[in-house]
Amino acid sequence: MVVTLCVVFILSACVHSCDGNLRFASYYGDHMVLQKSPERAVLWGYGPEGAQVTVSLSGPIKQKPLVVTVTKGIWRVTLDPVEAGGPYIVIAAVQNGTAVLTDVLFGDVWLCGGQSNMYFKTSQELALAAKYPHVRPFMAALRLSETELIDLIQVELPWSVPTARRVAEFSAVCWLFGRYMYETLKYPIGLVESCWGGTPVEAWSSSRALQQCELDQTKDGPNNNSVLWNAMIHPLLNMTIKGAIWYQGEANTDYHQEKYNCSFPVMIDDWRMAFHQGSGGKTAHDFPFGFVQLSTYQKGSTDYGFPNIRWHQTADTGFVPNPRMKKTFMAVAMDLPDETSPYGSIHPRDKQDVAYRLTLGARAIAYNEKDVLFLGPFPKQILSTYKYVNITYDQTVSVTPSKDIFEICCSGTKAPCESKSPWVPVPIMQWGVTTVLLPNLCGGEAAALRYAWTNWPCDFKACPIYSRSRILPAPPFIIYAAKGNIWKSY
């Protein structure tokens, strides 16, 4: 009977301690990266009930050993802050045995989550992998649970020194982001991949988060509410992390689409709260969160799922950070289509530009670098007359002509100006250093203006509005006219 219970319980706290041996939790291992100072890394694992566990750190900097008692089969310690570097040896010891981690580095740990475009494997630049031995990948296995677990059910890729073979099994966006960040920071980067293709945001959200958005409808398998949060995120909460990046939203273009402006920001808030509490306050309560705005799908489609989700990803603001989504950053990807992708056009192969744009946001938001431009141009002011609509952007723009990427709604009220309303394409007439001039084709007052509001707004790196350097595309927007020719987004 005892053996049977132990086997059943392997999916929860007993996953590493049925035999009472001293062990680290599943996501600790040789070659791992622990969060550097000023944050403090958390170590935990399993051991004989009531045993005294001594945890010591051996390496460039010595720390006083920490002693803790195993309670309910679990021990846990919080290290003093350790500067970036290594390697270290971490030893947990009890009277009858030890557990050892070797080649441990201290740096910044980033969690990479989402669906298939984050899961998309690295296939390019693999020969460069070995040149970045201080960028260390780790990957959780695809598992689900109806209850919140304290440890991962299974590890797909243990902490590894990168090689072409190892990196080929890993997320391209996550790996490239870590590699680019290492080139800037020059200290170790730990990458924790936990994602699953084809899954909606609801699967990655706790039940308390979903309740805030009144989401209680469920689907099957890995799409079910909270099952991936339970099995692939909740077990990681004890880990101290620097931040997270996210690539997801495609699955919500036809599932609770109208709720995504609530469910996505609430998921971010909930993750932040949970990681902060789970790490004993060591992960920042407002840790930086970056995401990829959806790329493209089905050229020529008249469906508005993708533009609607792009807008909802920003809490219907058009840009981040914003008052609802503080300390977030976004990589616009709608100008990176891939019509001939062998994985389908929903999976564009250019992940280098995606990762680089995320890197710019991380440098500005997570690392407070000054003078790093990470946002594409966004309207600062719109003035309209019966003949023209004049857009003033918040930065210098690089403009190429377009006949139809801007559209105007001629209805006299806001309500009819929704996705399926009679929007009229308008060409770019003139442009200046920070301005774009459009004709008002309404024959009266314009009610709304939108930009790039299609599944496939432009060809590869060929949208009409970019930053001056043409690195950052202007994000899509929909803005409504109000009294006195003052325009605003809703």
Same domain as 241, residue 111: yes
Q: Answer yes or no: is pLDDT of 365 > 90.
A: yes
Q: What percent of the chain has pLDDT over 90?
A: 85
Query: What are 221-231's pLDDT values in tens digits?
Result: 888 999 999 99
pTM: 0.93
Query: Token digits for 190?
Result: 């730990």
In the chain, the number of structural domains is 3
Using alpha carbons, select from 12, 79, 93, 106 the residue that is nearest to residue 48. Answer: 93
CATH number, residue 235: 3.40.50.1110
Same domain as 217, residue 76: no
Mean pLDDT of 374-388: 94
Task: Tell me the torsion sign for CA atoms 368, 369, 374, 375.
Answer: positive
Same domain as 242, residue 193: yes
Residue 433 burial (CB < 10 Å; 0-12/13-18/19+)? exposed
| pLDDT for the residue numbered 218 | 73
Using alpha carbons, select from 387, 486, 480, 475 the residue that is nearest to residue 437. Answer: 387
| pLDDT for the residue numbered 444 | 82
Q: Which residues pair with 23 in a beta bridge?
A: 46
Q: How far apart are CA 174 and CA 246, in angstroms?
A: 9
Decide which of 308, 334, 365 is a domain's last residue.
365
Query: What are 161-197's pLDDT values in tens digits?
Result: 999 999 999 999 999 999 999 999 999 999 999 999 9
Position 7 confidence tier, pLDDT thresholds 50, 70, 90: very low
Using alpha carbons, select from 110, 64, 66, 61 the residue that is nearest to residue 87. Answer: 61
| pLDDT for the residue numbered 454 | 95
Average pLDDT, rounded, for the chain: 92
What single letter denotes the amino acid at residue 324? R
Q: How far apart are CA 448 and CA 486, in angstroms?
A: 11
Q: Is residue 372 part of a domain?
A: no
Same domain as 99, residue 198: no
Q: Is residue 374 part of a domain?
A: no
- What is the domain extent for residue 476? 379-489
Lowest mean pLDDT across 97-101, 124-128, 265-269, 274-278? 124-128
Position 489 confidence tier, pLDDT thresholds 50, 70, 90: low
Q: Is residue 246 part of a domain?
A: yes
| pLDDT for the residue numbered 258 | 96
Lowest mean pLDDT across 32-46, 62-76, 308-322, 408-422? 408-422
Same domain as 23, residue 51: yes
Same domain as 205, residue 307: yes
Same domain as 240, residue 148: yes
Q: Is residue 132 part of a domain?
A: yes
Query: What are 105-163's pLDDT values in tens digits?
Result: 999 999 999 999 999 999 988 999 999 999 999 999 999 999 999 999 999 999 999 99
